[in-house]
Amino acid sequence: MSFRPEPPYRHADPARTGVLLCNLGTPDAPTAPALRRYLAEFLGDPRVVEIPRAVWWPILHGIILRTRPARSAAKYASIWTPEGSPLRVWTQKQAKMLQGYLGERGHQVLVHHAMRYGQPSLAQGLDALKAQGATRVLVLPLYPQYSGTTTASVVDAVAAWSRGVRRLPELRFVMRFHDHPLYIEALARRVLAHWATRGRPDKLLLSFHGVPKRTLTLGDPYHCECHKTARLLAERLGIGPDRCIVTFQSRFGRAEWLQPYTEPTLRELARRGVARVDVMCPGFVSDCIETLEEIAIEARDAFLESGGREFHYIPCLNDQHEWLVALTAIVEQHLAGWPTRQTDDDEQCARRRERARALGATD
C-alpha cells in the first residue's frame, strides 16, 4: 500500500467543508464504444449485479457487452443534447446552483459533482476537494431513496479512495432524503404547476427505477422508501390512493424485479379505459435516459397504442428553485452540529512536522 504525499497543512487553516454531489454516471458519447466502457464499469459493480463473478463475468463480457452497447447508444442518441448527456448537464448545473445558494446563506462551502461510473469520478472529486483544503466532506448521493445498488455503492467508492489517502478528511454521507419535507414539497410544486396549466389526470403514476425483487426480501429498504415518498406526495397533493399508482421501471435480465412494472401497468390502465395519465419519476432528481427515453417516449407510446388518449410526462426536479432550496436545507442540516475547527492539529504538531521535514525525514 502506498500513499500519495500530503501537501503542507497549516495550523491556522480554518476547517473547510466540501460537498460532493454524486450521481450514477452516464456515457461520454451516444456511441457503442462509449457505452461499452460505461456499461462494463457499471454492470461490473457487484453492488449492481449480485451474481458471483465466475458466473456473471462470462455473461457480461461474452453476451451483454457485445449486444447492449449499440442498442443503448441509439436510445441515448435520441435524448442527447448539444451540451451532452442530460444527466451530466443537470448534475453539473445542480452543483453550480447549490454553491450559489449556500454562498447566499453565508456558507463558505466548496461544491463539486462526481459520477459513480465514468467521469468525473468520485476519486477525482474527492482529490479536488482535498487539494482545495477541504478537511471535511459531505458526500451527497443524488438518490432520494436508499438502495444497496446505488447509495451503498457510492460509499464503497469513497472507501476505496480513502485507502490511498494518509490524511483523510472527516467524511459524512447523506444516505437518503426520501421523506424530507422540502423534497416532497419540491415534487408537489412540480406536479401542481403542471396541473395548473394542463388540468388534472385520471391517474397520477409514480414510476421508480426497479431493482431485483430479491433485494427486498434480503432487507433492502428501497421499496419501502419509494412507497413512503409516494404516500407523502399524494397526501401533500390531496389525492387518494385510488388516483395515485406506484410502479417500477427499467427491468434488466430475466429475474423478477419489484412489481408492478411501469409499462404493463400503463397498457392495462389504457385497456381499462383510463383516458389520461400523468407520469412522474420521483426517484430521479435529474432527467436522464430512464425518464426521457423509457418514460417520455417508450411508455407514452405503449399507453397511447393500448387505447389511452392523453399521456403527460412531468419532468424531474432538475434546476427547479424549490429543489435547490431542499438541497441547500439538506446540506445545512448536516453542517449544523459539525465542529467548525479541526481539533487534530495544534501548533506544536505543526512545528514538529516542519522540523522533521527540514531534517529530511520522508515519512
Site stretch for ligand L6N33NVT (CB under 6 A), options 43-51, 190-198, 317-325, 330-338:
43-51
How near is the Cβ of 195 to ligand L6N33NVT at its closest, in Å? 25
Where helices occur in the chain by DSSP H, the ranges are 32-43, 53-59, 65-79, 86-104, 122-131, 151-162, 181-198, 213-217, 222-237, 262-271, 289-292, 300-305, 321-335, 347-358
- Per DSSP, 81 falls in state B
Which region holds residue 8: left if phi is over 0, alpha if psi is between -120 and 50, else beta? beta
CB count within 10 Å of CB 314 equals 23
Residue 176 phi, psi dihedral angles, 5° rounding: -170, 155
Buried b (16+ CB within 10 A) or exposed e, 235-264: ebbebeeeebbbbbbbbeeeeebbeebbbe
Measured N-to-C along each axis, helices 32-43 and 65-79 cross at an angle, to the nearest 10 degrees, of 110
Please, which residue, 16 or 300, has the CB nearer to ligand L6N33NVT?
Answer: 300
Site stretch for Fe ion (CB under 5 A), options 101-109, 113-121, 130-138, 285-293:
285-293
293 is in an annotated binding site: no
Binds ligand L6N33NVT by CB under 6 A, chosen from 17, 121, 147, 247: 147
Binds ligand L6N33NVT by CB under 6 A, chosen from 85, 91, 121, 265: 85
188, 234 Cβ separation under 8 angstroms: no
Is 99 one of the binding residues for Fe ion (CB under 5 A)? no
**Which cell numbers in the block locate residue 361?**
525525514
86, 286 Cβ separation under 8 angstroms: yes
Q: Which of residues 212-231 bind Fe ion (CB under 5 A)?
A: none
Q: Which of residues 216-245 bind ligand L6N33NVT (CB under 6 A)?
A: 222
347 is in an annotated binding site: no
x/- letters, 298..337, toward ligand L6N33NVT (CB under 6 A): ----------------------------------------
127, 164 Cβ separation under 8 angstroms: no
Q: Which of residues 6-25 bind ligand L6N33NVT (CB under 6 A)?
A: 24
Q: Which of residues 264-293 bind ligand L6N33NVT (CB under 6 A)?
A: 283-284, 288-290
Please, which residue, 117 or 161, has the CB nearer to ligand L6N33NVT?
Answer: 117
Is 294 one of the binding residues for Fe ion (CB under 5 A)? yes
Q: Which of residues 250-279 bind Fe ion (CB under 5 A)?
A: 250
Helix (H, G, I), strand (E, B) or coil at 233: helix
Binding-site positions read 209, 290
Residues in contact with ligand L6N33NVT by the rule CB under 6 A: 24, 26, 43, 48-49, 68, 72, 85, 87, 143, 147, 149-150, 209, 211, 222, 250, 252, 283-284, 288-290
Binding-site positions for Fe(2+) read 209, 290
